[in-house]
Chain A
Amino acid sequence: MKYVLMFADTEQFTADLAAMGDAERERAYGRVMEWFAEHADKITHHVHLMPPESATTVRLDSGETLDGPYVEGKEVVSGFAEVDVADLDEALRMARSWPACPVVEIRPIASV
């Protein structure tokens, strides 16, 4: 089954990351790279997003173009990985071993 893992940053996580020294941040990125390498056979696609300040939202119902993400919250999606695994339990195991931001939503992809 195909799922998208949506990675979400919290304010605390963003602050912690900003407070890191270069070497420490390198190590944190290293752990993320390792995670991707370890699960490479199951990850079909992944993207890392620019910070929410860079987002622009178009509201077609009101015709507005707005600065910022469509939802302002304490948890912001910062990336996606599309994975192809046997079932939810396997997706859960991947998500639990994710070494970076503290929230991961697992959403099945609708089959066409």
Chain B
Amino acid sequence: MTQPSHSELAGVVRDHAGRLAAALVHLTGDFATAEDLVQDAVEAALVHWPAEGIPDRPDAWLFTVARRRGLDHLKRQERYRRKLALMRWPAESAPDDRLRLLFTCCHPALPRTGQIALTLRAVCGLTTPQIARAFLVPESTVAQRITRAKRKVGEAGIPYRVPDPDDLGARLAEVLTVIYLLFNEGYLATGGDRSHDRDLADDAEFLAALLHRLMPTEPEVTGLLALIRLHQARASARFDGQGRIVRLPDQDRRLWDHAAIEAAGTLIARAAAHRRPGPYQLQAAIVACHAEAPRWDDTDWPQILVLYTMLLRLQPSPVTRLHRAIALRYAAGAGAALAELDQLDEALDGYHLYHATRAELLRALDRPQAARAADERALTLAVNPAEIDLLRHRLQWT
């Protein structure tokens, strides 16, 4: 038997853990208990599967372990035991209940850190140590976040259901935020030495794809999925052999997954047909402009500028203005972009990309002294090692 790779293992757990959790919540009516049982089963799988190989029916394997644990541990909870003892797998007439699970984990009454940890555990089947490693926080911190979040679900009466139509918009936005944060954490990690850690990004992609399958007519869900896939399609060109960031103009576009880029373009078009634009659809469209350009020089900057202007209207933020200013540079010149940046000085003074962008504009305007000063300021603020590397390199050679 061949030993499964790390990503195979993660993929199989991801596909089945959430389904099992949803089925057990449905059965026991107790979110915390169900989640504990699945966690036990996943931990057991991570002990057995690497050595013994992934079983033919991983879902049945996980179910059997969860059920046995349940029967052992729920001695004092007779009604759960009885239900669990009668349960068969696969659960008959079990529709995909993971939507409810996702809405419960991302309930706005939970703190953001709790939403994230709970979603990763209950829906994606990550273990507490895996989450701790991904976020570079102590295991005890994650354990505490999970315990508190689960206790709150029970004590506060957070329902296990898809929200009513009145609430759905706001609640869906909450779920999308959690998925987007996970993706950012995995893909554009800002802390520690893990520029290459793609695990959480895969989990975010999985969640977005799941949500898209369960809510196919929500254009923002489709937009977020397209956005994530467009980033992932270009992931292999983002770093060189030494783990250094390769900036977009310098990336080898032959390394991009062009089939995936085309498929994401189809998703964007499908979302746009609903005529309900939103921030994720717009961001996906912006990334698509980059991804679809055969060369850097072919980038459609006027279109990108239009999309950023729309995005800024929907979601005003200094960081979006900064990004729009970068598009402005290529559409209207470095002088216009710098003038725009000068207005953001107060809001973004603590943000390394603000100063790094300023440095580039100043260099383009032939003001090398000021450019160096801006790069030095950026360097003191950057935390991602690959970004620090890039800035050091620039200070040394330009």
Contact = CB atoms under 8 A, between A and B. Distances in A.
B138 interface: no
Interface string A75-100: 00000000000111101110000000
B366 to A, nearest CB: 52
B158 A88 contact: yes
18 contacts: A1-B157, A3-B157, A87-B157, A87-B158, A87-B159, A88-B156, A88-B157, A88-B158, A88-B159, A89-B158, A89-B159, A89-B163, A89-B164, A92-B109, A93-B166, A108-B155, A108-B156, A108-B157
B56 interface: no
A89 B164 CA distance: 9
Contacts of B159: 86-89
Contacts of B156: 88, 106, 108
Interface residues of A, number: 11
Interface of A: 1, 3, 86-89, 91-93, 106, 108
Contacts of A1: 157
A91 B164 CA distance: 13
* Shortest 10 CB-CB contacts between residues of A and residues of B: A87-B159, A1-B157, A88-B157, A87-B157, A88-B158, A88-B156, A89-B159, A108-B156, A108-B155, A108-B157
A34 to B, nearest CB: 19
B167 interface: yes
A91 B107 CA distance: 14
Contacts of A106: 156
Contacts of B164: 89
Contacts of B107: 88
A15 B316 CA distance: 31
Contacts of A93: 166-167
A26 to B, nearest CB: 30
A86 B166 CA distance: 16
A3 B164 CA distance: 20
B114 to A, nearest CB: 14
Given A88-B156, A89-B163, A93-B166, 7 more contacts: A1-B157, A3-B157, A86-B159, A88-B107, A88-B109, A89-B158, A91-B157
A92 B163 CA distance: 12
Contacts of B167: 89, 93
Contacts of A3: 157
A108 B163 CA distance: 20
Most B CB contacts (10 A, CB to CB) among A3, A86, A89 go to A89
A92 B156 CA distance: 11
A3 B159 CA distance: 14
A88 to B, nearest CB: 5
B357 to A, nearest CB: 39
B264 to A, nearest CB: 34
A10 to B, nearest CB: 21
A88 B171 CA distance: 13
Contacts of A92: 109
